[in-house]
Amino acid sequence: MEIENCSPDVVSRWIIEKYPRENEYSDPFKVLVSTILSQRTRDENTEEASRRLFEVYEDADAIARAEPGDLYALIKASGMYRQKAERIVNCARIILETFNGEVPDTLEELTSIPGVGRKTANIVLNISFGKPALAVDTHVHRISNRLGWISTKRTEDTEFALMDLISPELWGPVNGSMVEFGREICRPLMPRCEVCGIKSCCEFFSQNSQQSVGK
């Protein structure tokens, strides 16, 4: 069943309801590390790497004592494991030395840690600290542009543009739900517009439909 009200809030709530996403971790450090592990890999790879890593190293203190090479075999499933291992160990050491062992709860402090960008920081802020924070990845960027809400080239521009369009209470959950929606329906290539419940609100679908009619 398609929706009739096409405001960004209504469409966002529809996506959140139809494509919910559960967060495996809530502990700030585990959310931070698992988000680093998730970069450029699939969910199942992230889950395997995170599970294996946290079975051996439970917290920042334990990982800070390790060397990057100690993590290679544990996180290999996530890909780019050498870079990620170095980033994770360095991150753990900075949290101990600079933040007294506690993951900081501000965007400025989180992004001061090498390897922690706005997306990762916003995920931690929302999931672990319950703060309104909008994480923008390729799915959120693609879908919001296809819908015609915005016209942006960079994910950072998308973040700020969406913050003006979507209510703060939706910022956190819309990220995970747009990821699920983007994998199942609004795919990068060959999106499944024919079964999409919000195609009546989508500029991309409207333009492609008009082109098909004109041929």
Mark whether 113 and 160 lie in a shared domain.
no
Q: Which of 30, 84, 119, 199 is catalytic?
A: 119
Q: State the Cα–Cα distance between residues 144 and 157, nearest whole angstrom.
A: 12
Position 209 scores a pLDDT of: 79
Mark whether 165 and 84 lie in a shared domain.
no
Mark whether 58 and 109 lie in a shared domain.
yes
Position 101 scores a pLDDT of: 95
List the pLDDT tens digit at each of the 215 positions of the chain.
568 799 999 999 999 999 999 888 999 999 999 999 999 888 899 999 999 999 999 999 999 999 999 999 999 999 999 999 999 999 999 999 999 999 999 999 999 999 999 999 999 999 999 999 999 999 999 999 999 999 999 999 999 999 999 999 999 999 999 999 999 999 999 999 999 999 999 999 999 876 664 55
| Domain boundary, last residue among 129, 161, 184 | 129
Mark whether 209 and 144 lie in a shared domain.
yes
Structure tokens at 27: 């502990």
Position 200 scores a pLDDT of: 94
Residues 129, 28 contacting (CB under 8 angstroms): yes
Q: State the Cα–Cα distance between residues 83 and 76, nearest whole angstrom.
A: 11
Residues 74, 53 contacting (CB under 8 angstroms): yes
Q: Which residue has the tokens 């999409």?
A: 196
| 58: Cα separation from own chain's centroid | 23
The answer to whether residue 188 is domain-embedded is yes
Position 189 scores a pLDDT of: 94
The domain total for the chain is 2
pTM for the predicted model, two decimal places: 0.91
pLDDT by residue (tens digit) across 156-196? 999 999 999 999 999 999 999 999 999 999 999 999 999 99
The answer to whether residue 178 is domain-embedded is yes
Q: State the Cα–Cα distance between residues 107 and 110, nearest whole angstrom.
A: 5
Position 1 scores a pLDDT of: 58
| Domain boundary, last residue among 112, 129, 146 | 129
What secondary structure letter does DSSP report for 191? -
Structure tokens at 182: 């983007």
**How large is the angle between the packed helices 155-163 and 118-129, nearest 10 degrees?**
40
Mark whether 114 and 197 lie in a shared domain.
no
Mark whether 172 and 111 lie in a shared domain.
no
- List all residues 6 or more positions away from 117 whose beta carbon is below 8 Å from its beta carbon: 111
- Domain membership of residue 36 as a residue range: 28-129
- List all residues 6 or more positions away from 189 whose beta carbon is below 8 Å from its beta carbon: none
Q: Which of 30, 84, 137, 199 is catalytic?
A: 137
Helices (H), 135-187: 138-147, 155-163, 168-184
What secondary structure letter does DSSP report for 167? -
Mark whether 188 and 97 lie in a shared domain.
no
- List all residues 6 or more positions away from 213 whose beta carbon is below 8 Å from its beta carbon: none
Mark whether 189 and 151 lie in a shared domain.
yes
Mark whether 121 and 169 lie in a shared domain.
no
What CATH code is carried by the domain that includes residue 67? 1.10.340.30
Mark whether 37 and 114 lie in a shared domain.
yes
| Domain boundary, last residue among 129, 161, 196 | 129
Mark whether 120 and 37 lie in a shared domain.
yes
What CATH code is carried by the domain that includes residue 151? 1.10.1670.10
The answer to whether residue 1 is domain-embedded is no
Position 2 scores a pLDDT of: 65
**119 is an active site residue:** yes
Mark whether 148 and 124 lie in a shared domain.
no
Structure tokens at 32: 């931070």
The answer to whether residue 3 is domain-embedded is no
Q: State the Cα–Cα distance between residues 65 and 89, nearest whole angstrom.
A: 8
Position 146 scores a pLDDT of: 98
Structure tokens at 213: 């009619």
Q: State the Cα–Cα distance between residues 53 and 31, nearest whole angstrom.
A: 13
